[in-house]
Each structure stands twice: as structure tokens, then as C-alpha cells.
Amino acid sequence: MHSFKYIDGKLHCEDVRVEKIALEIGTPFYLYSYQTIFNHYNSFKRALKEIDPLICYAYKANSNMAICKIFAKAGGGAEVVSGGELAQALKSGVSPDKIVFSGNGKTEKEICFALKSNILMFDVDSQAELRLLNKVAHSLGKNAKVVLRVNPDLNPQTHSYLATGLKKSKFGFGFDQALDGYKLARDLENIKIAGIHMHIGSQITSLDPFVEGLDKIIFLMGELKKIGIEIEYINVGGGLGIVYLDEEPPSLENYAQVITSKLLKLKVKVICEPGRVLMGNAGILVSRVLYRKETAEKTFVIVDAGMNDFLRPAFYQAHHEIKPVRQKEEKEKEVVDIVGPICESADFFARDREFPKVKEGELLSIFGAGAYGFSMASNYNFRCRPAEILVSGEDYFVIRKRETYEDLVKNEKMPDILEI
């Protein structure tokens, strides 16, 4: 369900005309629907109501403070992977006892910050991290609650960059090394074992990998029990896929049914870390056509957003639906490449795509850009990152200003030798 629809041939986000925003704030910009985000969160919660998990929204999907606050106000927690995301979660009003800290490369400074903030727990990724965490916790006179991220060694059937549960992946404890990890955790004085964590990948469109992963985790839970280690929490990670084109991801209900049927009887507390499924289809990127260009081989539609603004097509060859903001009446179509202004051949949003014939100056919207859109944007080519807008009903709010040339240089310093 999302709230981007055409009314009288004009694309609206909820009750606001996209063209109106473009005229008032310029392009490119990200545009999010409050209602969609809120509905996605509540649908997720409702589907899993029997198990009543702590829903820790994955900040990496979109860490704008207004977005984070929507989830915080709805009662959600946060899954963070850096000191920056942790600071953002705290500023967004997430209660520390609803924050989990994942990632395979936490620094001592970040660990210290998290311990001092009294977060709920750490998703620990290696023995080395366990030792450092223990040392820092000891020095602060605190105990660190942990779940060990276990790599269940399975194929999540997604893009290779988005698979994290394979044996060769850099993430987590190998399945056959997990017991040793838990024994170490038990021996470390300032570490308190809370449970098991898995996150097998992202944009997963089949239930099988979740079933396989959960079965392995449950098996491990049994092995741990045999050596006297009780599991209080199971964190099932995120990863549920969405529709970008013609994917058929499991419904929330079917996903919830798998988790509920596997975990309810175990009487454990469950944590989920959804990102994409909450935010992906709640946002679009709006861009204006700058030029058309015909070469011997192709027709290019050159827009004012680039791969620095939205990386997914260039980085993962991801397909995103693109539509003119003003619906085209005429049936005329052409095959085009829709590209940005960046000096890279990978700077494309669509290749060889059949598309309604658009003119210079028209607005295009790139769908499915709410998750891993702005959060992966950069200043490459020394470009200002775009504005972010949130719509609620008939109102829109700038939730991040477009960057300025001053923003681009605000951290730069001129050494004395060049001052003359």
C-alpha cells in the first residue's frame, strides 16, 4: 500500500501535487508519505501481534530524523550500526532500552558511547569484538548484554551484494564457530548473554531462507541449552523484500506466520529489524529532465538527479519504476536510457527502457526510493545532496534542506602554506 497516485493525470503524494512541491523547492528531491510509513509500521506490528516483537527499525534504510521520529512515536525501537545512527536514534526520542547495536566493525569509541547510553544490547559479530566489549564494559563498571550474530550458512536467493548469510560472508559467527563464541561470552565477566541474532540478507523474496535460518537458530538454541546457556531473545534481523517491478515477496502475514509458528512455542522474546519493507515504497525521488540527446545508438533522457543522489541502479543494477509526474496521454513510446549528470558511465536510472516520450523540462519520479536512497547519497562530483520532503495529508514539510555550496566546504581547511 502506498500513497502515490495520479489524480486527473497529475501525480500526488497523499493530497499534495508533486508538481507543486517541485515548483516551490526545486529538483531533485526525495518525497515521503507519512501515512504510508505509519501504515507500513502498523501492518508489520499487526501481522506479528501474537509474538509481539520489539520492532527495531533499521536506521540504515533512511536515517532522517523526522522519519526516525515517526517510528519512535509509534513505539518502535532502533537497529543502529554506527555512533552516528545511535546519536540519531537518541535524538529521535527512541528509548535506549529499545536500541540494538549491530555491525561488524564497532570502534571502541562507539562501544563506549553505546554502553554509556544504556542501550538494550549489542549484536556481536566476532570473538575479537566480544573481548573489546568486555574490556570497555569492565572499565565503565557496566555489563554488556549481547546476542551473537550467527551466520546460518544459507543462500538467501538475492543479489550477491545483499546476501549476508552465506558461509563466505564477512558477517557473524560461522555456524560451526558459534558454540565457541558463546563459551567465550560466558567466560567474560562483563558480558551477559541475551540470545541469538541472525540477519541473512536483504530484498529476500522467498520464505524458504527465513525458514532454514530459523531452523538452524533453533537447533543452536538446543545445543546451547545442553551446555547451560539459556536464550532469552531471538533477533530475526530484517530482509523481507518488496515489489520494485514484478517480484512476488511473501506477504507480511505469511512472513509473520513463519516467525510465529517457529518461535511462539519457544517462549523467547523476539526482535525484528525491518528496514526496506517499512520505507522502500514510502518514498520517491523527483527529478527534472534537463536534456534529450540522440546518438547513433541510443536516445538519452538526461535528468538532474544522479547516481550520487540515488545509487541503487548503478550499484546493484536495481530496477526502479520511473514515471512522468504528469501522466502522458499519447500512446507514443520510445526506448531510452535515463541517465544523470555524473561523469561515470554507471550513472543511469534505466537502460534500454520503453518509456513515454518526454520533453525537456518535464518531471520524472523514480519509485521505491524511500529505503537506501538518501541514506546512500554522496557528494560525488561535488554536488549538493537533494532535499527531503515529508507529506502528511494536504501539507508538506522540508525535513532536510537541499545542501548548499557552503555546506560542501564547511569542514575543509586551508593550510597556512597555501594562504598567501
Is 85 a binding residue for ligand LLP by CB under 6 A? The answer is no
| Segment lying near ligand LLP (by CB under 6 A), choices 91-99, 136-144, 235-243, 326-334 | 235-243
Catalytic-labelled residue, pool 56, 272, 343, 384? 343
Which of 216/312 has CB closer to ligand LLP?
Answer: 312
CB of 278 to ligand LLP, least distance (A): 8
Is 79 a binding residue for ligand LLP by CB under 6 A? The answer is yes
| Segment lying near ligand LLP (by CB under 6 A), choices 24-32, 185-193, 232-240, 261-269 | 232-240
- Considering only residues 61, 114, 133, 193, which one is a binding residue for ligand LLP as defined by CB under 6 A? 61
Which of 89/162 has CB closer to ligand LLP?
Answer: 162
Is 275 a binding residue for ligand LLP by CB under 6 A? The answer is yes
Instruction: Name the strands in the sheet holding 4-7, side by side, starting at the edge strand that comes first in the sequence.
Output: 4-7, 10-13, 16-17
Which of 207/376 has CB closer to ligand LLP?
Answer: 376
Cite the beta strand spans of 321-362 per DSSP E. Answer: 322-324, 333-339, 348-356
Single-letter code of the amino acid located at 90: L
In the region spanning residues 167 to 226, those forming contacts with ligand LLP, defined by CB under 6 A, are 199, 202-203
| Segment lying near ligand LLP (by CB under 6 A), choices 105-113, 219-227, 254-262, 268-276 | 268-276
Which of 195/275 has CB closer to ligand LLP?
Answer: 275
265: CB partners within 8 A, 6+ apart: none
DSSP one-letter string for 169-197: SSSSEEGGGHHHHHHHHHHSTTEEEEEEE
Taking CA atoms, 129 is separated from 103, 105, 112, 126, in Å, by: 10, 8, 13, 5
Three-class SS state of 125: coil
- Considering only residues 2, 216, 276, 400, which one is a binding residue for ligand LLP as defined by CB under 6 A? 276
CB of 227 to ligand LLP, least distance (A): 26
Three-class SS state of 349: strand
* Pairing label, strands 144-151, 191-197: parallel
Is 162 a binding residue for ligand LLP by CB under 6 A? The answer is yes
Three-class SS state of 84: helix
Nearest to 66 by CA among 383, 282, 311: 282
CB 168: neighbour CB atoms within 10 A? 7
Task: Provide the angle, in degrees to the nearest 10, between the axes of the packed helices 65-73 and 83-91.
Answer: 60
d(CA 264, CA 250): 20
CB of 30 to ligand LLP, least distance (A): 14
Is 102 a binding residue for ligand LLP by CB under 6 A? The answer is yes
Which of 216/276 has CB closer to ligand LLP?
Answer: 276
Exposed/middle/buried for residue 359 (C-beta within 10 Å: 0-12, 13-18, 19+): exposed
CB of 190 to ligand LLP, least distance (A): 23
Which of 1/420 has CB closer to ligand LLP?
Answer: 1
How many helices and strands (H and E) does the chain possess?
12, 21
Give kind and range of the element (H or E) at residue 71. Answer: helix 65-73
Is 125 a binding residue for ligand LLP by CB under 6 A? The answer is no
Query: Is 343 part of the annotated catalytic residue set?
Result: yes
Contacting residues toward ligand LLP, per CB under 6 A: 58, 60-61, 79, 102, 162, 199, 202-203, 237-240, 273-277, 312, 371-372, 376
Query: Looking at the annotation, which residues are catalytic?
Result: 343
